[in-house]
Amino acid sequence: MFSLTNRIRQISSPASQLYRCQSTLVVAEHNNEKLNPVTLHAITAAKQLGGDINCMVVGSQNCANVAKEIAEVGGISKILVAENAVFEGFLPEKLAPVLLASQDQFKFTHILAGASAFSRSLLPRVAAKLDVSPISDIIGVKDADTFVRTIYAGNAIMTLKSKDPVKIVTVRSTAFEAAGSSGGAAAIEDFAAPTEGPSVSQYVGQELSKSDRPDLSSAKVVVSGGRGMKNGDNFKMLYDLADKLGAAVGASRAAVDAGMVPNDMQIGQTGKIIAPELYIAVGISGAIQHLAGMKDSKVIVAVNKDAEAPIFQVADYGLVADLFKAVPEITEKI
């Protein structure tokens, strides 16, 4: 009787069973030219899950090149490529059927993507059809079913266990290293993606900010301006400082709302969530929702003329001063 019980325990060990059938699909993000690094952070999370890792590249051009970039990362079994003009603009109504078709064929246990506007738009659409509850913006993997994510603008951390048979997860880049190229040689294959179906949505165009500065999401140093900057012209002094530091420039919601800078510079709960080595907050009061976007930065510097500003409670170094004098001085002396 003792040996029977032992055998039963072995057979029903959930961890080992899951590992054997576990297979993850990472949905790649790209712009029809290059891979978006956010995907590399998602691949690292996939590796922490264990099991087989595959990638899907869907787009309207140059998908093979994007696939080759991914292939250089070690530990990936196969990369599926679905290229067709109908995927122009990466419309979720067009891309979701592709992921549903691949799920039908390969029966992945996990579908991952780097957390971004693209994946937030797409993955929940897929999850709804699969009748599973997607898990957004994870910052940790405990095991194949158990994930960690922030709630209440990062003021609480929830660990949750998913009961669904397929886990659909978006991955916060700041919480996982970017998987590096290590001479991988994944197999790249074409995937016969569904392209028929009515067009209920149409991509018209985009207005993207162009900048030679480092990408805000991944920059090591960020200079950020808030309401205290008073107007968009004044942001020039932050651009000058950023150029000297090789930094990216961000902004608080107040600055974007006031039209000082475009929306893609917004850092906060519903903007970009970043964790650079150095974050310099200029004329930013430090509202809860802004802190959600930058409080994991290694070093925080705050410059504000209001000594009571909440930003000083999270800053490592706080300078109570008139930013219009302090910032040019910093730029000159740095």
**Site residues for another protein, window 268-297 (CB under 8 A)?**
269-270, 272, 277-278, 288-289, 295
85 scored as a contact of another protein (CB under 8 A): no
DSSP state at residue 187: E
Pick the piece of the chain touching another protein (CB under 8 A) from 3-11, 113-121, 177-185, 187-195. Answer: 113-121
Give the x-and-dash track for 3-32 against another protein (CB under 8 A): ------------------------------
Q: Which of 3, 204, 233, 308 binds another protein (CB under 8 A)?
A: 204
Tokens 């970017």 map to which residue? 178
Whether 41 contacts 53, CB under 8 Å: no
Of positions 194, 231, 262, 322, contacts another protein by CB under 8 A: 262
The C-alpha atoms of residue 304 and residue 285 are separated, in whole angstroms, by: 7
Smallest gap from residue 239 Cβ to another protein (A): 15
Look up tokens 């809860």; give the residue: 288
Q: How far apart are CA 50 and CA 36, in angstroms?
A: 23
Using the rule CB under 8 A, is 118 a contact of another protein? Answer: yes
Residue of 73, 96, 248, 249 that binds another protein (CB under 8 A): 96
Q: How far is the CB of 186 from another protein (least distance, A)?
A: 26
Contact region for another protein (CB under 8 A) — 19-27, 181-189, 230-238, 244-252? 244-252
Rounded to the nearest 5 degrees, what angle is found at the Cα of 17, between the Cα atoms of 11 and 22?
170
Q: Which residue carries 């209920």 as its tokens?
A: 200
Q: How far is the CB of 154 from another protein (least distance, A)?
A: 6
Chain Cα centroid distance, residue 202? 25
Question: Is 34 an interacting residue with respect to another protein (CB under 8 A)?
Answer: no
264 binds another protein (CB under 8 A): yes
Token match 């039963």: residue? Answer: 8
Ordered DSSP codes for 237-260: HHHHHHHHHT-EEEE-HHHHHTTS
Answer for which of 18, 101, 178, 321 binds another protein (CB under 8 A) is 321
Residue 4 or 208 with smaller CB distance to another protein:
208
Answer yes or no whether residue 116 interacts with another protein by CB under 8 A. Answer: yes
Nearer to another protein, 189 or 317 (CB): 317
Contacts of 73 (CB under 8 A, 6+ apart): 40, 43, 179, 180, 181, 182, 184, 186
**101 close to 210: Cβ distance less than 8 angstroms:** no
Q: Using CA atoms, how far apart are residues 80 and 84, in angstroms rounded to an integer?
A: 13
Which two tokens mark 260?
């000082």
Nearest-approach distance from CB 82 to another protein, in angstroms: 19
**52 vs 90, which CB is nearer to another protein?**
90
Count of CB atoms situated within 10 Å of the CB of 6: 10
Query: Scanning residues 129 to 168, which ones bind another protein (CB under 8 A)?
Result: 129, 131-137, 142, 146, 150-164
- Start-to-end CA span in the chain (Å): 76
Q: Which is nearer to another protein, 44 or 116 (CB)?
A: 116
The C-alpha R_g of the chain, in whole angstroms, comes to 22
Please select the residue that binds another protein; options are 207, 212, 233, 308, rule is CB under 8 A.
207
The residues in 35-64 that bind another protein, with binding defined as CB under 8 A, are none
